[in-house]
Amino acid sequence: MITKRYYGQFGGAFLPEILVATFDELVAAFEAAKNDPSFWQEYQHVMSTYSCRPTPITFAENLTRFFGGPRIYVKREDLNHTGAHKANNVMGQGILVKRMGKTRVIAETGAGQHGVATATMAARFGFNCTIYMGEVDVWRQRPNVFWMERLGAQVVPVKEGTRILKDAINEAFRDWVSNMDDTHYVLGTACGPHPYPEMVAYLQSIIGKEARRQLLETEGKLPARVYACVGGGSNAMGIFSGFFDDPVELVGVEAGGDGLDTGRHASRLASKDGSIGVAQGYKTCFLQNGDGQMRETHSVAAGLDYVGVSPILASLKESGRVRFEAATDKEVLEAAALTIRKEGLIPALESAHAFAQAFKEAPGMSGDDIILINQSGRGDKDIFTIADAFNDPAWQKFIIKKAEAYRA
């Protein structure tokens, strides 16, 4: 019997029959872990000894002065091992894989952060590992492919469909339906069939728990607004969940790409282009045409370039609990540049969406207010994209020289 869970009208478990037994097993393992206090203890222990939890909050004093508005705090998920919040989910699922007695993990990846994190976890726990990555993303995020391979993972470039994140997810499912006996699929975000949305949000809730406590300790009060970028939605779910019961405005920022009116974006909730559908095993808002065929998406940030979104967030949009906005590629690059220069923080282009929206709103807010931005990952991985955007001639010269050296 399939356990399904809905968030409003979103979620569910639209599973091919071959996977039903596997999901039954996963649901049981997750429920057991949730009800076993030693699971969360082990998880916290791993995250504090293998990664950098609790990650700090940083007061962005220079940005605060620059905008002359609210006091700006940044939650530093970039300081996790492998440089993003993805580590939280992956290490948690890794502990679960051990408990289930499986020996191989597979994962999809867009920006490559989830792939690197999964490969790291697999190396640490001694699992075999295969990562599916769209061919377009392999090209955009080549350094991450290098690291996954060094970590012992097999990286499979996906040449089907639009050759980005959604296609990598389909391929991972195709692997899993053949190999479920020894293999666990480490889905990277709070999407997909139950229990993934709940399970990933549960593991990422560590972000919000810490951030709330840290702000209360530091400032003695809660933030007026919390900003997080939204691809699949796991970092947003993670930080938002700490404030669901508080009078705090939660703002999810999607990829506006070339602009919402151009059609070239990945904004399912903030644009008018999203509509409800069922794909990849769950019901949510997708970017699709009238026939239900998924559309191409676009973002400068590979990790936000996805047709679906967490069913939990789709429901929170419908209930009005979370406000959704979009930041364009151009605004995002400007926000990243400003943050780098003013604070010496290097946000991933994904995370820079949250900064961009916060910067749009900060000038209109009171100096007594606090805002919190989730820096979900670090931007080092984006060096090629950012260098291109800044059209840095010295960097180009270096790359040409390097290529020539390889050619010789």
Partner 1 sequence: MLESYLRERMKQKDILLMTHLVLGYPSFDDSFKIIEAMVEAGVDLMELQVPFSEPIADGPVILRANQKALESGATVERSLDLAKKVAQRFDIPFLIMTYYNILFKYGTDRFVAEMADRNLKGAIIPDLPPEEGGEYLKAMEKYVMAPILIFSPTTPFERMRYLANFARGFIYCVARKGVTGQDTSFSEELVSYLSRCRSATDLPLAVGFGVKQKEDVDFLKAKADIAVIGTQTIRIVEERGVHSVGDFIRGLR
- By CB under 8 A, residue 277 contacts partner 1: yes
Nearer to partner 1, 13 or 87 (CB): 13
Residue 108 a catalytic site member:
yes
Q: Which of 8, 18, 154, 321 binds partner 1 (CB under 8 A)?
A: 18
Q: Going residue by residue from 293 to 312, which x/- string records binding to partner 1, judged by CB under 8 A? A: xx------------------
Q: Which is nearer to partner 1, 177 or 387 (CB)?
A: 177
Q: Which of 166, 310, 376, 381 is catalytic?
A: 376
Q: Please tell me whether residue 399 binds partner 1 under the rule CB under 8 A.
A: no
Q: Is 232 in the site for partner 1 (CB under 8 A)?
A: no
CA distance 195 to 187: 11
Q: Are 187 and 170 in contact (CB under 8 A)?
A: no
- Whichever of 45 and 174 has its CB closer to partner 1, that residue is 174
Instruction: Please report how close the Cβ of residue 325 comes to partner 1 at its closest, in angstroms.
Output: 27
User: Going edge to edge, which strands form the sheet with 282-287?
Assistant: 6-7, 10-11, 282-287, 274-279
Catalytic residue among 108, 171, 331, 343: 108
Q: Which stretch binds partner 1 (CB under 8 A): 18-26, 116-124, 231-239, 258-266?
A: 18-26
Per CB under 8 A, the list member of 292, 363, 383, 398 interacting with partner 1 is 292
Q: Report the run of H or E that residue 59 belongs to, with start and end.
A: strand 57-59
CB 30 within 8 A of CB 192: no
Could you give the C-alpha distances from 195 to 4, 140, 277, 353, 408, in angstroms and in order?
Answer: 8, 31, 19, 28, 52
Interaction between residue 12 and partner 1 (CB under 8 A): yes
Q: Cβ closer to partner 1: 287 or 349?
A: 287
Residue 2 binds to partner 1 (criterion: CB under 8 A): yes
Q: Does 342 engage in binding with partner 1 (CB under 8 A)?
A: no
Asked if residue 279 binds partner 1 (CB under 8 A), the reply is yes
Contacts of 204 by beta carbon, 8 Å cutoff, 6+ apart: 85, 88, 89, 190, 234, 235, 237, 238, 241
Q: Known catalytic residue: 401? A: no
* Contact indicator for 111, 136 with CB cutoff of 8 Å: no
**String of contacts with partner 1 for each residue 157-186, x by CB under 8 A:** ---xx----x---x--xx--xxxx------
- Nearest in space to 96 (alpha carbons), one of 8, 184, 195, 167: 184
What DSSP state is assigned to residue 172?
H
Closest C-alpha to 371, from 381, 380, 361: 361
CA distance 210 to 86: 16
What's phi and psi for 313, nearest 5 deg?
Answer: -70, -35
Q: Does 291 bind partner 1 (CB under 8 A)?
A: yes
Residues 206-225, interacting with partner 1 (CB under 8 A): none
Q: Pick the closer one to partner 1 by CB: 2 or 260.
A: 2
Rule CB under 8 A: is residue 36 a binding residue for partner 1? Answer: no
Distance CA 108, CA 115 (A): 7
For the question of residue 376 being annotated catalytic, the response is yes
- Asked if residues 92 and 203 have their Cβ atoms less than 8 Å apart, the reply is yes
Instruction: By CB under 8 A, name the one of 83, 238, 274, 281 that touches partner 1.
Output: 281
Residues with active-site annotation? 86, 108, 376
Footprint of partner 1 on this chain (CB under 8 A)?
1-2, 4, 12-22, 160-161, 166, 170, 173-174, 177-180, 275-281, 288, 290-294
